[in-house]
Amino acid sequence: METHDDDCCPACAAAKGCCDEDEEEDAGRLVRFGSYTLPLKRLAVFAAALLLWAAGIAAQHFGKDGGWIRYLPLLPFVSAYALAGLPVLRNAFRYLWRMKRLDENFLMTTATIGAFIIGEWEEAVGVMIFYMIGELIQEAAVNRSRRSIKSLLALKPDIARVETGGVWTEVGAETVAAGVVVLVRPGERIPLDGIVIQGEGAIDGSMLSGESRPVDVKAGDEVSSGTVSVDSVLLIRATRTAENSSAAKIIALVESARNTKAKPEKFITAFARWYTPIVVAGAVLIAVLPPLLISGARFADWIYRALILLVISCPCALVVSIPLGYFAGIGGLSRRGIMVKGAVHLDSLHKARFVAFDKTGTLTQGKFAITALEPVSGVSGETLLETAVLAERESNHPIAQAIRAGGLSRGISGDRPAVTGNGTSGGNPSDYREIAGRGIELSPGGKAGRVILAGNRAFLEERGVAVENVGGNPAGNGAGADTAVYIAREGRYYGRILVGDTDREGAREAVTRLGKLGIEETLMVTGDTRQSAEAAAERLGISAVKAGLLPGDKLSVMEELTRQGTTVFVGDGINDAPVLARSDVGIAIGSGADAAVEAADVIIMTGDPRRVPEAIERARKTRGIILGNVAFALGAKGFFIILAVLGMANLWLALFADVGVCLLAILNSTRALR
């Protein structure tokens, strides 16, 4: 059904985000059914309408003998009709007045009023009750995943630490002007864009740029708000205010992208543009022309046929079974850990022609791990790793953490020793030196001749260690997309350990299945380096790579792609949020950032990339079921309309043509759950 800025049905409003309600206000008026929620007011209205309808049916038994008492059921029926049908009546006359056109709301209004005129009060109310059930079901489905986009604010820190009277105090980040120096401690998010004026260490920018490797920074380097200082205290001079920061731009991109998201037009609205006027005109002609043109024909008989025609033509089977079919499809997907935020997104998913993936955290784990041990001749892999773990035991760097974790998984202790006594296996803190961006120098037992070195190639060579090739591999700082940590002890080169991001389980299978589904192209769209992206794409079988992109660049790439056909984007980071919102369908890996989850249309709760082709396949099957319902409903109604025009249909047949076809279509819709 069509929605407008000033008039949204609750289900469509939740799916499309066209009506924003205050979340705290809603929370007190929602009724929860497991993981589903519905507004208490709408449920109360529905319950009241249902009870009044039942009361009217019961009252009909008292009016069988005729007389004035036969009108007794009219009061509960009219009351139930007003409660259940008020939104339909309002929209019917509003669309007719404002847009000068007829729609499915007008047809339902005309049909139900016609049912009242010919005495079928129960049917008139039943149509509205069925319609309301369909709306409530769809609304419950989309409310399950709907939460506020306000979680994006987590990217933009509220607090900044500035110096006041020689003391560092916390103030609101939005109050800090450009040029002010802020203090950032290890593990804290940088509140403002700026330049480092003191300190050096690693910056984790994965949530902003998509780059999985921490970036080493020192005095004079630029840093962005939203990134995290991994292991160092930094003094940063702000270059932009909070409202102009990188984090603020990300939020603005998401909001702008949501305003331009493609909204596939609902079939029922397009169908009603021609179906409704034809049905209404046909009913008028049937009521008026035959008595004027056929001798002996009575107006009463042909008006009765026209009203039967309107009852038969009521699109109850369509307006209930179509949203119910989508809901069943959404429910079936949710059982597999795939949450779809509304029917409009499921409808778009079945038309997917291009699927683009972010790299880090989506196709890969987004965590460093040991990918290879390359010891020199005469040194075992276990000895190489033991030496590296010993060197890295005091470091907070993510690569050091990966080496310790790799050692622990191989039975080599990764526990930190106490820095008391003698040496790193009992030693002084002064025996351990970490040079940011270079490496670690350790003297176990405080003896200079027993120095252990772990770092990049240049770090070892500066200290007189000759780095040799291992297994034909060049002795550079990395191998393909991996980072190499070179190890030496007592002046002897032991070899190197390769550390890199590892592929998610099922990532290659997911890409292969997408090809079998007829997806024209799979792409990798990432902020990671080209070398790293191309290596991952080759492993996974992805056909095209767009690397080194900032969030705005990603958005430009996806906008160009969406002009060629329906595009699906799969991501997990805050930097992916604008692209997830702008794509025809945005799919977030559920283990990713809250902002990505909120901006996405579909959420893979299990984090398994194989759910992406499964979602597309199930969306296509759901679409087939819905189209089957449409064909069945139109065919059945067309047949009964012919009988009605020929005078071969009575009111009971009209009821079957409406309610019976509706129930059969609903039963068919439930197939989408399987």
Residues 22-31: contacts with CB under 8 Å, at least 24 apart: 23/147, 23/148, 23/150, 30/143
Using CA atoms, how far residue 498 sits from 209, 381, 480, in Å, is 23, 12, 10
Q: Parallel, antiparallel, or unpaired for β 585-589 and 602-604?
A: parallel
For residues 258 and 81, give the distance between their C-alpha atoms in angstroms, rounded to a whole number. Answer: 37
Identify the helix (H) or strand (E) that includes residue 162.
strand 159-164
d(CA 86, CA 661): 24
Catalytic residue among 103, 193, 231, 358: 358
Longest Cα pair distance anywhere in the chain, in angstroms? 121
> Cα separation of 51 and 135, whole Å?
18
Dump the DSSP string for 611-642.
Answer: HHHHHHHHHHHHHHHHHHHHHHHHHHHHHHHH
Could you please report the per-residue DSSP string of 439-497? Answer: EEEE-GGG-GGG-EEEE-HHHHHHTT-----BTTB--SSEETTEEEEEEEETTEEEEEE
Q: How far apart are CA 556 and CA 534, in angstroms?
A: 20
Q: Is 358 a catalytic residue?
A: yes
| Cβ neighbours for 203, distance < 8 A, ≥ 6 positions apart | 190, 214, 215, 216, 217, 223, 227, 228, 229, 230
Q: Based on the number of CB atoms within 10 Å of its own CB, is 584 exposed (0-12), middle (13-18) or buried (19 or more)? A: buried
Torsion of CA 343, 346, 347, 351, to 10 degrees: 170
Which residue, 577, 521, 573, 599, is CA-closest to 363? Answer: 573
Cα 41 to its chain centre, rounded Å, is 28
Kindly provide the b/e burial profile for residues 396-413, where b requires at least 16 CB atoms within 10 angstroms of the residue's own CB.
ebbbbbbbbbbbeeeebe
487/457 Cα distance (integer angstroms) = 9
Residues 6+ apart with CB under 8 A from 271: 104, 318, 630
Q: In Å, how far from its chain's centre is CA 45? A: 31
Find, among 290, 253, 155, the residue nearest to 559 by Cα.
Answer: 253
Point out which residues pair with 454 in neighbouring strands.
440, 487
- Quote the CA–CA distance of 612 and 155 in Å, as a whole number: 27
Work out the end-to-end distance of the chain between its first and last CA atoms, rounded to an integer number of angstroms.
26
Q: Tell me how far apart the alpha carbons of residues 98 and 659 are, in angstroms, rounded to a whole number.
A: 31
Closest of 647, 41, 32 to residue 297, by C-alpha: 647
Distances from the Cα of 46 to the Cαs of 79, 106, 125, 547, in angstroms?
Answer: 12, 21, 12, 53
Which positions are annotated as active-site residues?
358
